[in-house]
Amino acid sequence: AKATGRNCYEFFTQNLQAEVITTKRIADEILAGLENDEFTAWYQPQFCARTMELTGVEALVRWNHPNQGVLTPDRFLKIADELNVVQMFDRIVLEKALQDKMRWAARGIVVPKVSVNVSSRRLNDETLFETLTTLAIVPGEISFELIESIFLDESDTVVSHNLERIKSLGIDIEIDDFGTGHTSIVSLLKLRPKRLKIDRQLVQPILESQQERALVRSIIEIAHSLDVDTVAEGVETFEHAAMLRELGCDLLQGYAFSKPRSFEDFCTMVQAAEWR
């Protein structure tokens, strides 16, 4: 038994070492990737639940890895956060999204709104505001998705000061992943976001569970009573879409309509209007 124990221990440390080495390698690759412009934005469409018109897109970071193809954030976001470079992705994605907005316009593709994810590091980064004030932003065309923990992390005054600055530039605020973590109605009241994104963990069970359905219905009602629009995330089937419409949800986003796509694939899809 003793020998096994030691083997286990050795196995464990070996694994741990391998993990440390992998993490270090990915960290180096991230830094090189930032130098080499390997990160970009992909787009997932959002639709009006009633008319099914395209209302906008969420821009999501992707890594064009030199030998592993296109990587999703689950492969690198955590390490990037430890490296303190997540705010770089937010900056890159916003930049690409603004460029792509112009390229859509040039191709006659109407994308009314682009939402980008903003980390707390980025929100507290003074260069964000330097960038924003140089942009000509049409009110309502750009939206920042913030997860609720941001509002809990920092002192109320810093956060609300930054949020007010963002709003005053014509950028909408959305609460992301609503229904996970420390969701509270109080933060809704305080923040007065434009939109609230109902997390897919709440959205997905609505067909099977009457209770979960009632919960989503209540969230939508509360949001509406505060004049806040609702977006359902992780809408994977048309049955979900129909139910969400019935529950009064305003916007829908999910694999039922489209996965996130590269700029070119997104253009092709819109021009072919594949989701109809």
What minimum distance in Å lies between the beta carbon of 15 and Ca ion? Answer: 32
Residues 176, 231 contacting (CB under 8 angstroms): no
174-177: Cβ within 8 A, 24+ apart: 174/115, 174/143, 174/144, 174/145, 174/146, 174/231, 175/145, 175/146, 175/147, 175/148, 176/117, 176/145, 176/146, 176/147, 176/148, 177/147, 177/148, 177/233
Residue 255 contact, options Ca ion, ligand C2E, none, Cβ 5-8 Å cut-off depending on partner type? ligand C2E
Please give the full DSSP string across 120-167, using - where no structure is assigned.
Answer: HHHHT-HHHHHHHHHS-PPTTSEEEEEETHHHHHS-HHHHHHHHHHHH
Residue 251, classed as helix, strand or coil, is: strand
Is 90 a binder of ligand C2E (CB under 6 A)? yes
Residue 93 contact, options ligand C2E, Ca ion, none, Cβ 5-8 Å cut-off depending on partner type? ligand C2E
Side chain identity at 149, as an amino acid letter? Answer: S
Side chain identity at 204, as an amino acid letter? Answer: Q
Residue 236 contact, options ligand C2E, Ca ion, none, Cβ 5-8 Å cut-off depending on partner type? ligand C2E
Among 29, 100, 148, 177, interactor with Ca ion by CB under 5 A: 177
What character string, x for contact with ligand C2E (CB under 6 A) and - otherwise, covers 98-137? -------------------x-x------------------
User: Which residues, 6 or more positions from 28, have their beta carbon under 8 angstroms from its beta carbon?
Assistant: none
Is 72 a binder of ligand C2E (CB under 6 A)? yes
What character string, x for contact with Ca ion (CB under 5 A) and - otherwise, covers 110-149? -------x---------------------------x----
Place of tokens 């193809």: 69
Q: How many residues bind Ca ion (CB under 5 A)?
A: 5
CB-neighbour burial class of residue 141 (10 A; exposed 0-12, middle 13-18, buried 19+): middle
Which range of residues in 9-17, 26-34, 134-142, 228-236 is near ligand C2E by CB under 6 A? 228-236
What minimum distance in Å lies between the beta carbon of 11 and Ca ion? Answer: 37
What minimum distance in Å lies between the beta carbon of 10 and ligand C2E? Answer: 35
Which positions touch ligand C2E (CB under 6 A)?
44, 60-61, 72-74, 77, 86, 89-90, 93, 117, 119, 176-177, 200, 234-236, 254-255, 260
Which positions touch Ca ion (CB under 5 A)?
117, 145, 176-177, 233
